[in-house]
């Protein structure tokens, strides 16, 4: 089949990585899957025109609202993959909820990353019972890349001569839902007490919607707060390969989001045998078991308490990375994900 796949494709984001991986699954069995950025289309009419010109036979969308609304009313069969903010955030907006319900009714199938995400969707749209499949994100092994950790440190204000240096990496775009400022004050205070701990926020400094910057006020606020905070650094986006290399060299990966679908950055850190400390929200709690595969915190002070414990307890660190690696191997199989999406394509024929 010739398949149109709509997703928000800003470089190096979780959505873009997930979409590219699923496209590869489909093309491995002979489908032609064309990825298009959902933000490039203002309406379903523009998508209908594209479908006619490109002679697409079926479609997929990642994110029930951002991508799915563009497939509403189209004359080809389509499937939906929940993104995270659609179920965790957009569902509380009545107009968006109505649109998403219609899209879900028209879709041949939908995919949720977790059972809890499926339950939340069915609570709002019971008519989708029997249509929603649960498939965790699969993790594929990244190739080793040449990366100079010292050069990376030179590009920061980190004191490389500090004894027993511990660097925490927060991977996120500067969006309110990612809450990059959540830990800044508490971490800065901890750094003043323990000068060998640092937090580096890595990710795009701007998010664009139809080529217009979204929330520039928040972007400026983040930059200003981080600039004043000791022990906290802000870096722009980088290639996925370099980001993996940074994760492999850091002490721990942090997630402070208000909501998540399923954080690829957290799963990849676990796969790379790096400890994870994540905010206790449903999307994170679905993949991190406290003191087993990672650490869950509910407020900034608890983060500092747990991070301090992790720094001073090598046995806990070893336990977490070992069990985290095993969890990803057992529950986030790349092959299982491939089989699921290849089989679901039969529903679009």
Q: For residue 157, give Cα distances in angstroms to 126, 150, 151, 162, 230.
A: 52, 12, 12, 12, 10
Find the mean pLDDT for residues 251-262.
Answer: 93
Report residue 11's pLDDT band, with 50, 70 and 90 as the boundaries.
Answer: low
- Residues 258, 238: Cα–Cα separation, whole Å: 23
Measured from the Cβ of residue 118, the count of other Cβ atoms closer than 10 Å reads 20
Predicted pLDDT at 12: 57
SS3 of the chain: helix, strand, coil, percent, to 5: 45, 15, 35
Predicted pLDDT at 86: 86
Q: What are phi and psi of 207, to 5 degrees?
A: -120, 135
Report residue 207's pLDDT band, with 50, 70 and 90 as the boundaries.
Answer: low
Predicted pLDDT at 212: 44
Predicted pLDDT at 211: 45
Question: Mind listing the pLDDT tens digit for each residue in 120-133?
Answer: 999 999 999 999 99
Q: For residue 289, give Cα distances in angstroms to 137, 270, 276, 285, 327.
A: 17, 12, 11, 7, 10
- Residues 251, 268: Cα–Cα separation, whole Å: 14
Q: For residue 62, give Cα distances in angstroms to 16, 22, 96, 295.
A: 9, 10, 15, 29
Question: Mind listing the pLDDT tens digit for each residue in 154-202?
Answer: 778 888 777 789 999 999 888 888 999 999 999 999 999 999 999 999 9
- Residues 11, 102: Cα–Cα separation, whole Å: 30
Q: Is the pLDDT of residue 13 over 90?
A: no
Q: Is the pLDDT of residue 39 over 50?
A: yes
Please enumerate in sequence order all residues whose Cβ is within 8 A of that of 167, keeping only pairs 6 or more positions apart, or say none: 158, 197, 198, 199, 200, 249, 250, 251
Tell me how far the alpha carbon of residue 277 is from its chain's centroid. Answer: 15
Find the mean pLDDT for residues 317-338.
Answer: 94
Q: Calculate the CA dihedral of residues 102, 104, 108, 111 and round it to 10 degrees.
A: 170
Report residue 40's pLDDT band, with 50, 70 and 90 as the boundaries.
Answer: very high
Find the mean pLDDT for residues 79-96.
Answer: 89
Find the mean pLDDT for residues 23-50.
Answer: 94
Report residue 214's pLDDT band, with 50, 70 and 90 as the boundaries.
Answer: low
> Residue 62's closest CA among 115, 120, 13?
13
Domains and their CATH numbers in the chain: 2-138+333-348 (3.40.50.2000), 149-331 (3.40.50.2000)
Containing H/E element for 109? strand 109-112
Exposure b/e, 316-348, CB count within 10 A at least 16 = b: bbeebbebbbebbeeebeeeebbebbeebbeeb
Report residue 50's pLDDT band, with 50, 70 and 90 as the boundaries.
Answer: very high
Return the higher-pLDDT residue of 242 and 4.
4
pTM: 0.85
Q: For residue 343, give Cα distances in angstroms to 25, 60, 68, 349.
A: 11, 14, 20, 11
Find the mean pLDDT for residues 192-216.
Answer: 74
Return the higher-pLDDT residue of 54 and 262.
54
Predicted pLDDT at 290: 97
* Greatest CA separation for the chain: 63
Q: What DSSP line would sit under 47-106, residue for residue?
A: HHHHHHHHT--EEEEESTTTTGGGGTT-SS-EEEE--SHHHHTGGGSHHHHHHHHHHHHH
């Amino acid at each position: 089949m010739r398949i149109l796949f709509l997703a928000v494709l800003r470089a190096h984001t979780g959505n873009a990585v997930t979409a590219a991986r699923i496209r590869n699954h489909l093309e491995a069995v002979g489908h032609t899957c064309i990825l298009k950025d959902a933000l490039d289309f203002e309406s379903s009419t523009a998508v209908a025109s594209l479908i006619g010109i490109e002679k697409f036979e079926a479609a997929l969308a990642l994110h029930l609202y951002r991508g799915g609304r563009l497939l509403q009313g189209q004359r080809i069969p389509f499937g939906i993959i929940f993104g995270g903010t659609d179920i965790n955030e957009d569902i509380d907006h009545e107009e968006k909820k109505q649109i998403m319900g219609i899209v879900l009714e028209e879709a041949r199938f939908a995919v949720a990353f977790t059972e809890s995400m499926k339950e939340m969707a069915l609570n709002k749209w019971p008519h989708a019972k029997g249509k929603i499949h649960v498939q965790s994100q699969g993790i594929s092994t990244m190739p080793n890349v040449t990366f100079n950790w010292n050069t990376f440190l030179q590009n920061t204000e980190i004191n490389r001569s500090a004894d027993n240096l511990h660097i925490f990496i927060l991977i996120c775009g500067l969006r309110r839902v990612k809450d990059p400022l959540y830990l800044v004050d508490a971490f800065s205070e901890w750094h003043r007490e323990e000068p060998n701990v640092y937090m580096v926020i890595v990710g795009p400094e701007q998010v664009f919607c139809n080529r217009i910057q979204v929330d520039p006020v928040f972007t400026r606020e983040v930059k200003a707060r981080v600039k004043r905070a000791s022990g906290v650094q802000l870096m722009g986006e980088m290639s996925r390969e370099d980001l993996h290399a940074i994760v492999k060299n850091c002490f721990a990966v942090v997630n402070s989001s208000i909501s998540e679908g399923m954080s690829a950055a957290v799963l990849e850190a676990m796969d790379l045998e790096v400890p994870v400390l994540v905010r206790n929200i449903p999307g994170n709690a679905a993949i991190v078991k406290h003191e087993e595969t990672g650490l869950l915190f509910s407020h900034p002070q608890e983060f500092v308490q747990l991070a301090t414990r992790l720094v001073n307890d090598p046995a806990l660190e070893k336990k977490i990375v070992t069990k985290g690696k095993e969890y990803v191997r057992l529950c986030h199989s790349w092959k299982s994900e491939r089989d699921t999406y290849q089989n679901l394509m039969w529903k679009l024929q």
